[in-house]
């Protein structure tokens, strides 16, 4: 997990943190990003958090929207 997302989720309620971590992990899997040191992981983390802050509850929906915003497939 990227350092960025760890720092962000530490400040969140457990429910929100779990939802974001699931969405983040789904997004990494969908994009086939396996290296936690890849600079792309921070961009993915920021996008997932941004999407989650819009009020979307479902991790799969957060992930799908984040992928659309990243314009990566």
For 17-32, write each residue's pLDDT tens digit.
899 999 999 999 999 9
Which two three-digit tokens encode residue 69? 């915003």
* Number of domains making up the chain: 1
What pLDDT score does 72 carry?
Answer: 58
Parent domain of 42: 3-70
Report if pTM > 0.85: no
CB-CB contact of 62 with 56 (8 Å): yes
C-alpha 58/C-alpha 31 separation (Å) is 18
Helix 40-52 and helix 14-30, axial crossing angle in degrees, nearest 10? 130
What pLDDT score does 40 carry?
Answer: 87
Reply yes or no on whether the pLDDT at 73 is more than 70.
no
- H-assigned helices in 31-55: 40-52
What pLDDT score does 16 carry?
Answer: 85
């Amino acid at each position: 997990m990227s350092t960025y997302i760890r720092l962000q989720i530490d400040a969140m309620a457990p429910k929100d943190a779990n939802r974001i971590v699931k969405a983040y992990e789904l997004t990494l899997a969908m994009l086939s990003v396996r290296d936690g040191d890849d600079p792309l992981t921070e961009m993915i983390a920021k996008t997932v958090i941004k999407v989650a802050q819009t009020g979307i509850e479902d991790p799969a929906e957060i992930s799908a929207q984040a992928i659309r915003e990243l314009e990566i497939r």
